Each structure stands twice: as C-alpha cells, then as structure tokens.
Amino acid sequence: MSQKIMELVEKTCMKKKPPRFSIGDTVDVHCRILEGDKERIQIFSGTVIARSGSGTREMFTVRRIVAGEGVERKFPLHSPRIAKIVVKRSGRVRRAKLYYLRQRVGKSTRLRQRHGVVLPGSETEETPSASSG
C-alpha cells in the first residue's frame, strides 16, 4: 500500500522526457544557479563516469579536468535545477562505472568514440525530404 503511494508521489516530481545518455558520453549539463534574486545558467562539461539509483533518486556523476585537477560532480537526473543535458560525444565503454579514469592523466583519459550513434539535434538525422527520390 505505502509503496503505491510513494510511486504516485514520485511520478509528479519526475521529468516527462528525461534526457537519454549513457556511461562514457561527454555531456554539457546546464545548471540553474541562483545568485541573489537573479538566475543564470552555468554549464558543467565532462564525461559521465557513473549512474546510480532509480526513479526520482537517480543520479549521475560527471568528471572533467580543470587546471590539471580532476573535478567530479553528482547531479540528480530529475532535478528542476538541471535545465538540460546536451550529449556532445558518445564514448564506447565496457564498464558500468568508469572510476579507473581517476588514476589516468592526459591523453589516456580519452575514450574511443562510438560510431553509428545519432545524437539528437545533429545533422546526421534523416529527414523525410531526403529519402524521396
């Protein structure tokens, strides 16, 4: 009984269309930042190294290198503070968690690119007018 009530409450907080991305993708996370009475968008760009949780508690971790130091940040997927998530590059990985990237420095942190993946908003998407001949 209480589990059904929890599911109903969680459904109201979840995003209608959560962004689709996977581990190893390079993403831009657009965060809403409140400074006094003003609101601005700050972009955190990096590689998704982990996803965890389910439902409204789903989180993902993004890692990037800033001034030679590794910076990781965890984001709740269904947070209203996340404006949008843009997938820049799709990486080919064989692990669910990419924690091994923490020990790597420089070019060894790069992941192989996954080819044949159509990113939303890219020019490689098929248009109906192009197929008519």
Select the more confidently predicted residue: 1 or 37.
Answer: 37
Check whether domain 17-103 has CATH 2.60.40.2700, yes or no: no
Does residue 63 carry a pLDDT above 90? yes
Cα(131)–Cα(133) distance, integer angstroms = 6
Q: Give Dmax (Cα) for the chain.
A: 58
Q: Taking residues 95-107, what's their average pLDDT?
A: 87
- pLDDT at position 87 is 92
Across 41-45, 87-91, 126-130, the highest mean pLDDT is recorded for: 41-45
Mean pLDDT of all residues in the chain? 84
pLDDT reported for residue 10: 81
Q: Which two tokens stand for residue 87?
A: 């997938």
The tokens describing 1, both together, are 């009984």
* DSSP output for 8-65: HHHHHHS-SSPPP--TT-EEEEEEEEEETTEEEEEEEEEEEEEEE--GGG-EEEEEEE
Q: What's the CA gap between 2 and 11, in Å, rounded?
A: 14
- Residues in the chain, how many? 133
Is residue 60 pLDDT above 70, yes or no? yes
Return the domain boundaries, the chain: 17-103
